[in-house]
Amino acid sequence: MNNKEQFEVHDPAILANARAVLDAAGTHAQMAQEVVNAVKRNEEWRGEDCINLLAPEAPTSPTVRRLLASEIGTRAAEGHIGRVNRWFAGTQYIDEVESLCVELLKKAFRCNYADHRLMGSMIGNMAVYHSLAQPGDRVMTAAQPIGGHSSNRYGGPAGTRGVEIFDIPFDPETLDVDLDKFEEEAQRIQPKLVVTGMSMTLFPLPVREMSSIIKAWGGRFVFDGAHQAGLIAGHQFQDPLKEGADILTGSAGKTFSGPQSGMIMWNDPELTQPITNAIFPVLAATHQVNRVAALAVAAAEMLEYGDVYMEQIVKNSQALGKALEDRGIPVLATNRGYSQTHQVIADVGEFGGGLEVAHRLAEANVITNKNLIPGDKPEDWDRPSGLRMGTIEVTRLGLMENHMADIAEFLARVLANGESTSSVRKDVEAYRRPLQTFYYNFDNGWPQSISS
């Protein structure tokens, strides 16, 4: 040990508490038990007692969850599918699982090529920058205050490739791309890549127009559909690959409602070699075949249930937006019908800002997150004025538009009426406890209101 002070990026108090727990445990077996206990606490609280409105998370079906713990997840299978492509023998069933996954993803996204080996959408974006950009290349991406994501900015995969990043111009009022400005800027910059990655996403983007502008100099268009992947598969959003995007990346664990990980899809055979070379051997070796199996089943669920499930998600977010507005909580995009995705964005500046509000709501067992919204300044980064909500989980629990008023009411009681979080929490628990079945999958089928 040297005498430099220990530096942690994590909250030092929480790490100190973990050390104290381990010290008190005495035996290694008890240390392991402490981990199991913490998982159990989360399962009971977030899994059974909370209304989870986090936009980037989705509950998985019982089969998907079971597959994540399956034996196949202990097997090693690096490389591409097939006998000569792999280093290891004994992979014939793994080849079956992986090829089923690839073909199911192609069906779900109606595309020619898909890859299943990405540990996250971040890795998918890394594969994009690795394969299609060189250091010094110019790219245009969406800035965070308008909904962009770090993976396409200097702090993320894009930055590690040494590219020069320019902002896609947005209209802060409509939350849409300012096409005239985009055309002007793009002509000047001539970006090699344009990447739209929206973590705050309420409406489709002009993919057709943007991609046709940059084709003039051979620019490639990448739709980072981390959030929208399920909506795209379920025909409830634009279809970026049909509209001119060269590549679609997506998170499997957001609207797609599969195991947390990534997916990448494309149509042009010229992209196959660069993209798959970036995946293996650059970014993935063993790639969690249990997760691949779970992803394959999630894709099949999406093919069977996706259209109706995703349509209900969108209907629910529109209903939630209206119900919040009716209760005095300002919501973005009221004049555009609140949302055409799973998200609703509230401006909670008057209630103490996103950070404060999200934590107050969590005390009432309503889980949301703080979010930057247009108008927030760089110094507002940690304490932005927005609150982001998503309707994936409440929809999969079988709730319909008419139930969104119940949820908005819980939020309004905490925010607008200033009721104590402990009294609201009791009612949230009572509301959630009977709702423990996830629908829109082969285990549990349709929710009752749809099947009857």
Ligand X SMILES: *Cc1c(COP(=O)(O)O)cnc(C)c1O
Q: Are 364 and 421 within 8 A, CB to CB?
A: yes
Chain position whose Cβ is nearest to ligand X:
120
Out of 115, 224, 347, 380, the residue judged to bind ligand X by CB under 6 A? 224
Residue 434 gets the label, from left (phi > 0), alpha (psi -120 to 50) or beta, of: alpha
Nearer to ligand X among residue 261 and residue 316 (C-beta): 261
d(CA 34, CA 18): 10
* Residue 24 neighbours by CB distance under 10 Å: 10
Helices marked H in 133-252 — which ranges? 157-160, 179-189, 207-215, 229-233
Q: Is 255 in the site for ligand X (CB under 6 A)?
A: no
d(CA 205, CA 215): 17
**HEC states along 105-130?**
HHHHHCCCEEEEEECCHHHHHHHHHH
Out of 77, 104, 105, 226, the residue judged to bind ligand X by CB under 6 A? 226
Q: Is 115 in the site for ligand X (CB under 6 A)?
A: no
Out of 25, 75, 76, 120, the residue judged to bind ligand X by CB under 6 A? 120
Residue 48 gets the label, from left (phi > 0), alpha (psi -120 to 50) or beta, of: alpha
Nearer to ligand X among residue 238 and residue 365 (C-beta): 238
Please identify, among the stretches 20-28, 116-124, 184-192, 378-386, the one whose residues bind ligand X according to the rule CB under 6 A: 116-124
d(CA 246, CA 387): 32
Binders of ligand X in range 330-389 (CB under 6 A) = none
End-to-end CA distance of the chain: 67
Classified as helix, coil or strand, 348 is coil
Nearer to ligand X among residue 122 and residue 415 (C-beta): 122
Residue 19's φ and ψ, nearest 5 degrees, are: -60, -40
Nearer to ligand X among residue 342 and residue 425 (C-beta): 342
Distance from the Cα of residue 372 to its chain's centroid: 16
Out of 54, 108, 122, 373, the residue judged to bind ligand X by CB under 6 A? 122
Nearer to ligand X among residue 56 and residue 321 (C-beta): 56
Compose the 12-51 pattern: x for residues touching ligand X by CB under 6 A, - for all others.
----------------------------------------
Minimum CB separation of residue 282 from ligand X in Å reads 16
Tell me the site size for ligand X, rule CB under 6 A. 15
Q: Is 151 in the site for ligand X (CB under 6 A)?
A: yes
Binders of ligand X in range 194-213 (CB under 6 A) = 197-199
Please identify, among the stretches 39-47, 165-173, 193-201, 363-371, the one whose residues bind ligand X according to the rule CB under 6 A: 193-201
User: What count of Cα atoms within 13 Å lies in the side-chain half-sphere of residue 104?
Assistant: 22
Out of 51, 52, 54, 56, the residue judged to bind ligand X by CB under 6 A? 56
Q: Give the footprint of ligand X on this chain (CB under 6 A).
A: 56, 120-122, 125, 149, 151, 197-199, 224, 226-227, 251, 262
